[in-house]
Chains A and B, each alone.
Chain A
Amino acid sequence: METESLGREPQRREPRAGQTVLAPAAAELAPSGQVGSLHRLSDPALSELGLEDFLDELLVRVRDALAVDTVAILLLDEESQQLVARAAKGVEEEVEQEVRIPIGQGFAGRIAAERVAIFIADVDHADILNPILREKGIRSLLGVPLIVEGDLIGVLHVGSLKPRTFGERDLALLQVAAARAAPGIERARLFSALEHEHRVAMALQRSLLPKQLPDIVGVEAAARYLPASDEVGGDWYDVFELGRGRVGIAIGDVVGHGVGAAALMGQLRTALHAFASEGHGPGRTLELVDRYVNTMPQYAMATASYCVLEPETGVLRVASAGHMPPIIVANGSTRVVSIEPAPPLGAFPYASSQETETSLRSGEILVLYTDGLVERRRISLSDSIEALLAAVSGATSAERACQLAFENMVGLESLRDDVAIVALKNCEVPELLELRLLAEPRVLADIRRMLRRWLRARGAGDQETSDMTLAVSEACANAIEHAYSPAPAKFNLRASAQAREVTIVVSDAGDWRSPRGQDRGRGLAIIDTVMDEVQVSSSELGTEVSMRRTLGR
């Protein structure tokens, strides 16, 4: 087939069926009126439309300027070295089917490989790869490469349903469009990629933070997280039950931003929780996490603070690896827990972590936070911490402490760093203890812890406390063993005191089964021995075991 060469510098190229390689046209050949609308394609503001919208805008303008029936853009996928249809007008199927053209093959492939403009006068007699072009009834095609700073990024082509000769003026116009659009496409593409990464990092961060803080008997927990305005960081927090009546609370801040920081945050949160679950104290736990960070092949650094509270005794153990000091809200006043922080995690091999013991009494709230909450331009860190102390001093719940901190410390100015805060309150012991509990054996340990606290608050001695706790736990075990109902069964516990006389009532909706065999008999024997008076009343509504004992008898 004949190969035509238009333009001023005819080039000798390998001929291909029906394709005409065109030499670049002079830009001034393009009709100035039509160029006007194309000029704006290099407007940087357009790139913020995002890639899809930008391409759409580009295609409409090119179609109108050249009075063609179809316009398509294929972008280079560097990995596969293929052109992928990204946007089209009149040949939308190309995009829907994600047509891929290998570089060097067919019409668009050759434009990309040789970086030349190609004209096809009659599609029927030309070497084209994409069947959609034929199926649509396109007769003539003109295509140009999209090039940014010497790099090929794709191909732009137009088509006509009627046989048409694209002249030098058409070529010049398409070249102008390509030259204007290419940097915009590249910017929009980059913008989309960044936005995509931001979304991924955000989703990752969210999925790695606790969905919901656990319900732990005797304490109340709350938390807040706010990502920075432009980037996701690596802040995390955690609250977990350690078993045997202890609660762990952690906070941390990974150095860095984006997906990497979020992923590292997830690893550190898991590692800390795992070491803590082994029963290690806060100091040792942070040492083990530090050791883990130091074995990571990539650069990794983070600050963290980890505390363990025993709500029953109020004993609070605190450790810090380069992290902001915790604060405690106690009856309208606040204090900073003074600790000797270890170096940040990953900073030095063989760092050791000190542990400080303090107390978080009933009604007091522990607040941990990341530096994003207190680091402000033009305000010293100590002034900022003072402001935080003042902000949370009125808090009477963990939730309120988080709310007050955010309201007062997170202003309207855009956040440079992400912010995390987590608060834990050691709940007050009520005078009247009324609980409705699931009839499952695992609640027994919680009941004992609550009852011990309650009995001590009523002035019971150590032996009295442990004996009565044993007796009540036996009564509850009986209610649990004999509970049966279609729905998850529940039972009630009510403990009250008048002067020195303590009354504890365990009631359920099940039948009281007279204790069978020796085992339950032993439980009942314990209740009888420990308590001054025991009454069991059974009705259609259920069974009630009422136990009474005078303290200090």
Chain B
Amino acid sequence: MRLADVQFSSRENAVVARLSGEIDLSNAQHISAALLEATPNTSLALVLDLTDVTYLDSAGIQMIYRLREGVRARAQTLRLVVPADSPTNDTLRLAGVAQHVQTIGTVDEALSELT
């Protein structure tokens, strides 16, 4: 098993990418490249589900910013699914960026917001 893995599923107008494992300097760039690659132009949004991510650091935060810019350039939106009691939420809080990064608790909520 790799340090992190990603599973894609297509929904109406959106791609849901479910990340699992650990995201750090060793894989953050590869993952953001893979995610942008897998999001077709026809999609309205990329829903990034970080529920199963067990570790994410500043390289992961940078990945989120990079993704946000990437989808924005294609007039798409990025929705981040980050449960309140997750390691990812801790990192966002400790880095002091929680107020700049909009997150949502579940994939269903993220998808219903899009319609």
A residues neighboring B (CB under 8 Å):
242-244, 246, 277-279, 441-442, 444-445, 448, 466-467, 469-470, 473-474, 477, 480-481, 519-520, 522-523, 525-526, 529-530
The answer to whether B104 has its CB under 8 Å from any CB of chain A is no
A246, A279, A466, A470: which has the most chain B beta carbons within 10 Å? A470
**By the criterion CB–CB under 8 Å, are A466 and B24 in contact?**
no
Complex: A279 Cα to B2 Cα, angstroms = 9
Q: Contact at A477–B59, with CB atoms within 8 Å?
A: yes
Question: With a CB–CB cut-off of 8 A, which chain B residues contact A445?
Answer: 3, 22, 24, 26
Mark each residue of chain B from 42 to 62: 1 if its CB lies under 8 Å from any CB of chain A, else 0. 000000000000110111011
- In the complex, what's the smallest C-beta–C-beta distance from A524 to chain B, in angstroms? 9
Q: Is the CB of A526 within 8 A of B22?
A: no
A243's contact among B2, B24, B54, by CB below 8 Å, is which?
Answer: B2
A246→B1 CA distance, assembly (Å):
9
Q: A525-B95, A530-B94 are in contact. Are A470 and B57 (CB under 8 A)?
A: yes
Q: What residue of chain B has the Cβ atom nearest to residue A469's Cβ?
A: B55
A-B contact pairs, 16 of them (CB 8 A): A243-B2, A277-B1, A442-B26, A444-B26, A445-B3, A466-B90, A470-B90, A474-B58, A477-B25, A477-B57, A519-B59, A522-B95, A523-B58, A523-B95, A526-B58, A529-B96
Cα A444 to Cα B22 with chains together (Å): 10
Interface size class of B (residues with CB under 8 A): 20 to 34
Q: DSSP class of A's interface residues: helix, strand, loop or mixed?
A: helix
Closest chain-B Cβ to A549's Cβ sits at a distance in Å of 13
Residues of the A chain whose Cβ atoms lie less than 8 Å from the Cβ of B58: 474, 477, 519-520, 522-523, 526
A444 touches B94 (CB 8 A): no
B26 closest partner in A (C-beta):
A441
Name which residue of chain B comes closest to A480, CB basis. Answer: B25
Minimum Cβ distance to chain B for residue A349 (Å): 28
A441 touches B91 (CB 8 A): no
Q: Is residue B75 within 8 Å, beta carbon to beta carbon, of the partner chain?
A: no
User: At the interface, yes or no: B97 with Cβ under 8 Å from chain A?
Assistant: yes
Cα A529 to Cα B25 in complex, Å, equals 20
Instruction: Report yes or no: B61 in contact with A244, Cβ–Cβ below 8 A.
Output: no
Known: A519-B58, A525-B95. Contact between A466 and B87, CB under 8 A? yes
CA distance A242 to B2 in the complex (A): 8
CB <8 Å contact, A477 and B24: yes
Q: Once the chains bind, are B3 and A519 in contact (CB under 8 Å)?
A: no
A424 to B68, CA, bound (A): 45
**Is B96 a contact of A525 with CB atoms below 8 Å?**
yes
User: How many angstroms between the C-alpha atoms of A246 and B54 in the bound complex?
Assistant: 14
Residue numbers in B under 8 Å from A480 (CB-CB): 25
Complex: A228 Cα to B95 Cα, angstroms: 61
The distance in angstroms between the C-alpha atoms of A442 and B87, with both chains bound, is 20
Q: Is B21 part of the contact surface with A, judged by Cβ < 8 Å?
A: yes
Q: Could you tell me the distance in whole angstroms from the C-beta of B5 to the nearest C-beta in chain A?
A: 8
> In whole angstroms, how far apart are the Cα atoms of A526 and B91 in the complex?
8
Chain B residues positioned under 8 Å from A522 (CB to CB): 58, 61-62, 95-97
Bound-state Cα–Cα, A242 to B1, Å: 5
A246 contact set on B, CB distance < 8 A? 1
From A470, A481, A519, A520, B94 is in contact (CB under 8 Å) with A470
